[in-house]
Amino acid sequence: MASLQLNLKPFRILTPFKYTSSSPSSGTPKWGKIQCSATSNPKKSYNITLLPGDGIGPEVVSVAKQVLNLTASLEGIEFKYQEMPVGGAALDLTGVPLPEETLSVAKQSDAILLGAIGGYKWDANEKHLKPETGLLQLREGLGVFANLRPATVLPQLIDSSTLKREVAQGVDLMVVRELTGGIYFGKPRGFGKNENGDEIGFNTEVYATYEIDRIARVAFETARKRRGKLCSVDKANVLEASMLWRKRVTMMASEYPDVELTHMYVDNAAMQLIRDPKQFDTIVTNNIFGDILSDEASMLTGSIGMLPSASIGDSGPGLYEPIHGSAPDIAGQDKANPLATVLSVAMLLKYGLQEEAAAKRIENAVLETLDKGFRTGDLFSTGMKLVGCKEMGEQVLRSIDSQRLAAV
């Protein structure tokens, strides 16, 4: 297991931690229950909004909530939850992908955990009635403009990567993606006809200086806390929006003399991520490039089912979610990998609540579970132990509980 330092604190358990198993009911799996409690007088209490969403979202969020609860009981923290609909689930329930009440509750919480959004069922809907529109509205409504997406090749999963061992080993990078601007939000946009009468669809890639400056600052600060290297990815040889992007990022570099800044065109960056991913430390880029590059980076790690993300703004609660989709083809079959969502909870604790000791417990538990050879189908290889979503979650819980026993 990788060497990680735990910052353990005194605690008092009132109720022993136990696992109980139950068979899946038809449709949605019924998870094993957790019986645990926090200290009688929790040091801190937080309000968490849960947005399970669609497909495998409810399954992975259920596991992550159990992990969060047990970790809280060991750290003397209390969590209060409010579950709200979003995406396709909200469409079926209310007729819109992001109900006003969901956004209101999310804004009033300390952090938001999102599962996944979308599915074949709603693919034919008009754009304003697609689940993905609800996600864009949620990001915009919360003002979470900076998306942090780490991609680390864990020693236990080197052989799960599609790259050669010598290329994948040691990869540890962070993609800082601008999240509320660019072509996904730019105007004008829509449909029309050109001078020949052909139907056209059009979108606008547009960035204002303040949008570039604020995401660049997050990226420089992130790089400063890592290895001090920042690569800004753009298409400044073609796009005016990228020309402004490069100009503003370059100007800001003078404020961070301890950070080495380089620039790279997005097509080259896509190639370099596969050719030599270890050259990257922190990458900052716009909305659409970040969407693509971070998904590409996920495959360096072996599976998109391993990558968490944190979306933060200047103020207010952050949004934490796995970067994988809703995977409707395996929904309800106990096949999903919950580790990206579990690691998203660790990011929620670390970045959203500044509970670093609690976050470290979860990160260490994930490493220990992988050390023991447990793998969901997306990571499985010969010699490993194939488990489902529920069992993988239970193994993480056992690893967290073993930290308590070790401390005692």
Residue 403 — very low, low, confident or very high, per pLDDT cuts 50/70/90? confident
Confidence at residue 24, expressed as pLDDT on a 0 to 100 scale: 35
Residues 179 and 282 in one domain: yes
Is the domain of 172 the same as that of 273?
yes
What CA–CA distances, in Å, run from 311 to 180, 207, 213, 320? 10, 19, 17, 6
Q: Tell whether pTM > 0.95.
A: no
Q: Same structural domain for residues 168 and 287? A: yes
> Using 50, 70 and 90 to split pLDDT, how confident is the model at 404?
low
Q: Is the pLDDT of residue 62 over 70?
A: yes
310-49-25-95 Cα dihedral, nearest 10 degrees: -100
Q: What is the full DSSP assignment across 326-362?
A: --TTTTTTT----HHHHHHHHHIIIIIS--HHHHHHH
Q: Are residues 315 and 267 in the same domain?
A: no
Mean pLDDT of 65-73: 96
The answer to whether residues 56 and 172 belong to one domain is no
Q: At which of 301, 330, 361 does a domain end?
A: 301
Which of 93, 81, 178 has its CA nearest to residue 134? 93
Task: Centre a 10 Å sphere on the Cβ of residue 321 and count the other Cβ atoms it contains.
Answer: 27
Position 5 in a domain? no
Percent of the chain with pLDDT over 70: 89
- Do both 222 and 122 map to the same domain? no
* Domain-embedded: residue 32: no
In a domain, 149, yes or no: no
Express each pLDDT in 293-334 by its tens digit.
998 998 898 888 899 999 999 999 999 999 999 999 999 999
Domain around 109: 42-144+307-407
d(CA 356, CA 142): 23
User: Which whole number is the average pLDDT over 224-241?
Assistant: 97
- pLDDT for position 237: 98
Q: What is the CATH number of the domain that holds 207?
A: 3.40.718.10
Question: Domain for residue 17, yes or no?
Answer: no
Q: Classify residue 78: in a domain, yes or no.
A: yes
Cα–Cα distance list, 108 to 44, 46, 47 (Å): 17, 11, 8
Cα(239)–Cα(267) distance, integer angstroms: 13
Q: Are residues 242 and 205 in the same domain?
A: yes
Please check whether residue 222 lies inside any domain of the structure. yes
Q: pLDDT digit string (tens) for 70-99? A: 999 999 999 999 999 999 999 999 999 999
Tell me the catalytic residues.
184, 235, 267, 291, 295
Q: Residue 215 above 50 pLDDT?
A: yes
pLDDT at residue number 43:
80
| Domain count within the chain | 2
Residue 294 lies in a domain: yes
pLDDT at 19: 34
Same domain (yes/no): 140, 182: no
Res. 362 pLDDT band, cuts 50 70 90: very high
Q: Let me know: does 390 contact 334? Beta carbons within 8 Å.
A: yes
Q: Looking at per-residue confidence, does 19 or 78 come out higher?
A: 78
**In a shared domain, residues 172 and 138:** no
**Is residue 4 domain-resident?**
no
The answer to whether residues 94 and 211 belong to one domain is no
Q: Render pLDDT for 145-191 as a digit per residue (tens, 0 to 9).
A: 999 999 999 988 988 888 899 999 999 999 999 999 999 999 999 99
Average pLDDT, the chain: 89
